[in-house]
Structure 1
Amino acid sequence: MEERCSWCGDDPIYTDYHDHEWGVPEYDARALWEKLILDGFQAGLSWITILKKRDNFRAAFDGFRPEVIARWDEADVTRLLGDPGIIRSRAKIEATIGNARAYLKIAENEGFDQFFWRYMDGKPLQNRFRTLAEVPASTPLSEQISKDLKRQGFRFCGPVITYAFMQAVGMVNDHLVTCPAHDRVARLA
């Protein structure tokens, strides 16, 4: 019997995210950057908290346009610290501005999408986990990508955050094999 991965529970926002976004290969550079930033904001919190605030984040961070955010200064940090619709962490907000600058360098040098997908030779890894206990929190590859991101100037991108990002953007298919989304996502690869 097929059943959805249990980590998303039964909250409609979470199940919709699981069913339609999580694990679907994403190749758009701006969308990849947004997801990496949101995963950084999630550090220490639950993903459902971020999902419920995602539209607020998009509004507060100007649609996650790194070319705009890279020019922000202390006045923008102060403005965001006063926004109750987002996670008001000075460290995470300042990291996002710095990450926008790092994004622009990577985009200019090789393309932000290419930066990630070259690790996979352009194809998602198809895992075949049967239980959530088998799914790792990080892998040697997420550790390497995390180190490479940090070398480029990124913050809030440790190996666990990086692996969560890899799962979310479909670099790895970690839907359980008992989940109907597993095969659907695998066919997208």
Structure 2
Amino acid sequence: MGLDKHVSGRRCLQSRRSRIILGVFVFIAILAVVIPPAVVVTLRKKNSMGPKANIFVPLYVYPAPGAWDPLEAEISSHPEANFTVVINPASGPGPDALPDANYTREIPKLASYDNVRLLGYVPTTWAKRNISAVRRDIETYAEWPTNSSNPKLAVRGIFFDETPQQYDADALSYLQGLSSFVKGLSGLGPDNY
């Protein structure tokens, strides 16, 4: 009888151990089924539309009253999108320290949107334009907030147009120098883009 007790006790132990192991496997299987969908649902809620769209707008339209209203309506209707808007008062910032009254009225409106980055247009004439003239244009844009006493009358970077379409070592050096110049200036917003 002593042997029978030992054998039945062992079966009982195996049965308890089997139940524990089975319970652990069931628990792991439940986690494997529940966790991945929960993670996917959580990520979709946080980022329901994927990354923000980036929209590039060369705004070469004179800002007569109401002329920029359609763009402003689109910007305000789509806060989920990022707008990079190039402004071009006069093939660059123009000859004066500040743009005319229509630009000084409209630029701050666009600059007030969190999803807008304004860039000032500067031609390089295929990296052949006098670099001092290009730098003057960049400095003029950078000085707008100070000269106007309005921090919203500002661009956050420079758009270089008329750049070479084929590699040229001199053109590369020219453009790299201008890029460094922009990044070293204050007055072009927080990131000097």
Work out whether the TM-score is over 0.5: no
What is the TM-score of this pair, normalised by structure 1? 0.24
Greater strand fraction, Structure 1 or Structure 2: 2
Which entry has the higher C-alpha Rg, 1 or 2?
2
The structure whose RCO (Cα within 8 Å, separation 6+) is larger is: 1
Bigger helix fraction: 1
